[in-house]
Structures are given as structure tokens and as C-alpha cells.
Amino acid sequence: QAATSYVGRYYPTVLASATTTTPVVVTTQMLKNTGLLPASFSETNSYGQQYQAMIVRNQQNQELLQGMVVSRGGHAMPFTALNQISKDITAGFGGYVEDGQTAVGAMRSWRIALSSYGTSTGRGHLAVLLSTDDLSGAREDGDRLYRFQVNGRPDLNKMHTAIDMGGNNLNNAGTVAAQNGNFGVSLVSNGPVTAGGDIRSTGGWIVTRSGKGWMDETHGGGFYMSDNDWVRSVNNKGIYTGGQLKGGSVRSDSDLAAGGILKLDQVNVAGTWCPQNGAISHDSTGGILSCQSGRWGGIDSYPVGSPIPWPSTTPPPGYFLMAGQRFPCGSYPQLARAYPGCVLPDLRGVFIRGLDNGRGFDSGRAVLSYQADQSDMVYNPGGALKGHHSGMAHYYHSDNREVRPKNIAFNYIVKAG
């Protein structure tokens, strides 16, 4: 008990001198000198053994002390005496030294190597274990947490275990420095919150208000919302990604530049309705289409209304055979401008002739006017050939076959724009 009181009184001094392997030795004389034992107290027991306390730092928490009191010298006690005395010790954990190297607790309740306290003794001696709790509880300042600073004693303002506030508040704190913070409810701050690392939400949103969002302080970019429709870029910063941007529709208020090709997934049919003039699409073969007067039309060198030779009986999509048929003017306004009567010329089996247009070869003709054949105007009065022409064959008009040049038959088609 006196050794425990001594350590409690001089705890900081002993702690400063002890290590985990090198003890501070407390002798009987030291206890008498400090008044913890009376001056008449014998320094030996009836077997001539002297007592010493070996105080070392706790290896798990080196701010705490633990100790071992052993008897040394004299004569070895018989086991019966050791066993009985160790059971009767109440200050600390009584024991004895059985083999000169190991302290054994009463009823063999514990075993500790004496070398861990930097000491040894012979068999037949007493040993008393002074636990960390025993020595900490003996401190004159106890285990109280001081409300005020004690000069030279920062340990008096230090907790060594968790504090359970029992649901009560911790008010008027200045700076709270901690390794972690776990909160079961909302965390409210009336000022900025600064994090030295990442801010993560494991089960919910990161929510902002009042038109604010996220911003990179160094570069002045980020995202925010100032209305119910648009996510906006702070300071009109660009958005850069090596991946894709995907949306229902993408609009550019200025130029649109692509470093690669332009891919259009939607396929349209020439001659069908289109939503907006100037729109671009393509047909099933990859041909480019543009929206012209509300209809998809191909981008080619033939203007709407021009007859085009076509080597098939079936016109391609968006084209008509020129067979004299009527077409709806409202559905094909560009074609109606070329043929105001909304009737296509019938070019089946006839040749196209250039309009005289004042040259004098075929005067009096109008655009799209029809002219019948005149193959029956062959003139041959007969008997006028002389000399080497005699014997030349002569042909006269006798049926409805026409005079014609050599030719190849094509269908004529026209773009239905």
C-alpha cells in the first residue's frame, strides 16, 4: 500500500524516469523518508527478506505506470507460507516467486516474467502486482478532469477514454479538433465548412440552395441552377470530356465544329414531310437529304422540274415518271413552280427539242408545247437523178412509221420536290 501511495504522490516524476523495460526502484527506506512508512518500520520480514517496488511504463499505454513489489535476499519461504500470504494480500494482486524468474499469482491466477519489470529474485520470495488501475487511482490528482489549466500538468486536462454526454449538448465550444465526426442527425453550420479532403455522401444527395452549386475556387468554374430548367456553367466555362455528351437534343447558339465525321442515325425518305426547312438527314442508301419547302429532297445537280433520263421502269423514291399525270400542287410546291398547271409532260416515246427562243428554226413555239411528227413530208418528184446516181433506191411514205435517228430508250423522271 505504501509503494502505491508513493507512486501516486510522485507519478509525473516516476513516469519521466521509467521506461517499459528499465524500472524506477522504490525501497523501504524511500517510503520511510517520505513519511509513507513509520521510521520504526522494519526493512526485513521474519525470513530476512527486504522489499523493493519496480515501477515501469505500461507497454500498451506508455503514459501509464504499472509495478511489481518483490522481496529479495534472506531465506526462502516454504510454499505453504507463500501460498497463504499471497492470498491474504489485498493491496495489489498477491503472489510469489516459484522458480526465481516468474511471479505467480495466488491460486496460480496469473504469471508474469520478472524480466518484464527489469528485476529478478530467488525462489521462495513474495511478489505483489501493482496494476495500472492501482497506480493511476492512487495519484493525488486522481482521475479527475480539471476544468482549469494546471501549469506543468497538461495531463490533468486530458481524457483517456470516451465521454458519453447522455444526449446532452456541448455548448459554446471554440475550435473542435478531431480525427473523425459521426453524427446521427443533421449537421448545421452558420458559416463556411472547410474540408482538407473529399466530401462524400454515402446514401444521399449533396444539396445546395438559392441558385448556388459547386465551384472550383482555383479556376472559377463549376455548375449551378438559377431556374427550373437549366444546369448552368459558372462563368460560362466550357465543358471538356474525352467521353460522350448525351441528351434528348443538343443546341448550339453559334457555330458547331466536329473534329471527326457527322453521324446521323435517323433515316428519311425523299419527298416525305420534314419538320423544318434547312434540316439535314439521309436516306436508306446514305444519300444526303435536306428539308426543302416542307419536304425531304436530295442534294444533287438537278433542279426540281428537270427531266432526267432513268434506266428503269420504276423511279427512285422522291421522283415521278413523266407520263402526263397530274400531281397535287400543295404537296409539291417546287414542282408546281416548274409546271404551274400541276400536270407533268408526257415524255413517253418522244424526243426533247430545244426551244427556238427567237433563233428562227422552229418559230412560234412555247415552253412545254407539243409538236407532232412530220415524217410524211418526204419529197421525191422522181426522174431527177442522172449519171452515176441511176439505179439508186427510192423510199416513199406508205405507212405510219416515222423517220428517226438511232436511239436508246430511257424513261424520263422528275424530282418530286
Report if residue 286 sits inside a domain.
yes
For residue 391, name the pLDDT band (cuts at 50, 70, 90): low
Report if residue 7 sits inside a domain.
yes
Average pLDDT score over residue span 185-209: 81
Provide the pLDDT for residue 141: 57
Provide the pLDDT for residue 209: 87
Whether residue 310 sits in one domain with residue 275: no
Whether residue 350 sits in one domain with residue 276: no
Provide the pLDDT for residue 386: 54
Whether residue 13 sits in one domain with residue 121: yes
pLDDT above 60: residue 379: no
* Residue 375 vs residue 172, higher pLDDT: 172
Report if residue 15 sits inside a domain.
yes
Structural domains in the chain (count): 3
Report if residue 413 sits inside a domain.
yes
Backbone angles phi, psi at 82, to 5 degrees: -60, -45
pLDDT above 60: residue 350: yes
Residue that terminates a domain, selected from 86, 117, 137: 137
Whether residue 402 sits in one domain with residue 341: yes
Provide the pLDDT for residue 323: 96
Report if residue 317 sits inside a domain.
yes
Question: What CATH number does residue 357 fall under?
Answer: 3.90.1340.10
Residue-averaged pLDDT of the chain:
85
Beta-carbon contacts of 341 under 8 Å, excluding residues fewer than 6 positions away, are none
* Residue 223 vs residue 190, higher pLDDT: 223
Residues 64, 406: Cα–Cα separation, whole Å = 121
Q: Which residue range forms the structural domain that includes residue 23? A: 2-137
Query: Which three three-digit cell numbers place residue 115?
Result: 524480466
* Residue 65 vs residue 371, higher pLDDT: 65
Provide the pLDDT for residue 73: 92
Whether residue 47 sits in one domain with residue 29: yes
Question: What's the chain's length in residues?
Answer: 417
Whether residue 354 sits in one domain with residue 269: no
Whether residue 403 sits in one domain with residue 337: yes
Average pLDDT score over residue span 367-392: 62
Residue that terminates a domain, selected from 120, 137, 154: 137
Whether residue 32 sits in one domain with residue 52: yes
Beta-carbon contacts of 50 under 8 Å, excluding residues fewer than 6 positions away, are 27, 28, 43, 44, 71, 72, 73, 74
pLDDT in tens, 129-142: 988 888 887 675 55
| Alpha carbons within 13 A on the beta-carbon side of 86 | 30
Report if residue 147 sits inside a domain.
no
Name which of 43, 52, 93, 48 is nearest 70 in CA terms: 52
pLDDT in tens, 293-317: 898 887 766 788 999 999 999 999 8
Query: Which three three-digit cell numbers place residue 352?
Result: 426533247
Whether residue 415 sits in one domain with residue 327: yes
Provide the pLDDT for residue 225: 93
Report if residue 194 sits inside a domain.
no
Residue that terminates a domain, selected from 137, 170, 190: 137
Query: Which three three-digit cell numbers place residue 47?
Result: 525470513
For residue 245, name the pLDDT band (cuts at 50, 70, 90): confident
Whether residue 403 sits in one domain with residue 295: no
Report if residue 238 sits inside a domain.
no
Whether residue 314 sits in one domain with residue 413: yes
Whether residue 415 sits in one domain with residue 295: no
Residues 55, 128: Cα–Cα separation, whole Å = 12
